[in-house]
Chain A
Amino acid sequence: KAGVTQTPRYLIKTRGQQVTLSCSPISGHRSVSWYQQTPGQGLQFLFEYFSETQRNKGNFPGRFSGRQFSNSRSEMNVSTLELGDSALYLCASSVTGLNEKLFFGSGTQLSVL
């Protein structure tokens, strides 16, 4: 069974630009959640999608948004990038949601210059 796939692996953007990250969950998994990892802050929960609907949301500004498609693939978008958005963005999938162990992708390393 293929694991969680995130693309691209690395991304370099400049301030003010916008970026879209992609996540393909494990086949059969309907829940996709997104996390931001920065040194010293650990993993911070961004949001969770289930059956194309945002079900849960963390404490991030509206510049961070996402969506989920009918095949459960998910995208995360960050608009008006700031230097502080530089981080590793991880997505995770599970069958039904945050009530079970999550399977993580390898992440997208975003650098904002």
Chain B
Amino acid sequence: DQQVKQNSPSLSVQEGRISILNCDYTNSMFDYFLWYKKYPAEGPTFLISISSIKDKNEDGRFTVFLNKSAKHLSLHIVPSQPGDSAVYFCAARRNNNDMRFGAGTRLTVKP
């Protein structure tokens, strides 16, 4: 059962523009959400996270928004850079005993 869904397998954006990656979840018990970035032949690396008690968290060019009523979170990258081209996974955690990942979205930033 896919409790965390990333419905867009790929996204292409021009350098300097905004990239918006979306993630939906079904389990209202999730209390912590994370985004990971993965380059080919490497393991995922942590990017940014947000607690369920917040609706926004910002770190440099990366901002994560959480809409609990819609069970939706999004990652905004502004401005997008070619080095941001990677696969992005969203993840949701419940009570420190379960971690669910989405299928990933491949972001391509064109120069």
User: Pick the contact of B43 from A4, A42, A101 — CB < 8 Å?
Assistant: A4
User: Pick the contact of B103 from A41, A55, A90, A98 — CB < 8 Å?
Assistant: A41
In the complex, A99 has a CB within 8 A of chain B: yes
User: Pick the contact of A105 from B32, B43, B93, B101 — CB < 8 Å?
Assistant: B43
Residues of A within 8 A of B103 (CB): 40-42
Of B14-22, B44-52, B56-64, B74-82, the stretch lying at the interface with chain A is: B44-52
Tell whether, in the assembled complex, residue A106 and residue B42 are in contact, meaning their CB atoms are under 8 Å apart: yes
Interface residues of B (CB under 8 A from A): 4, 6, 9, 32, 34, 36, 41-46, 49, 89, 91, 93, 96-104
Interface residues of A (CB under 8 A from B): 4, 33, 35, 40-45, 55-56, 58, 90, 92, 97-99, 101-107
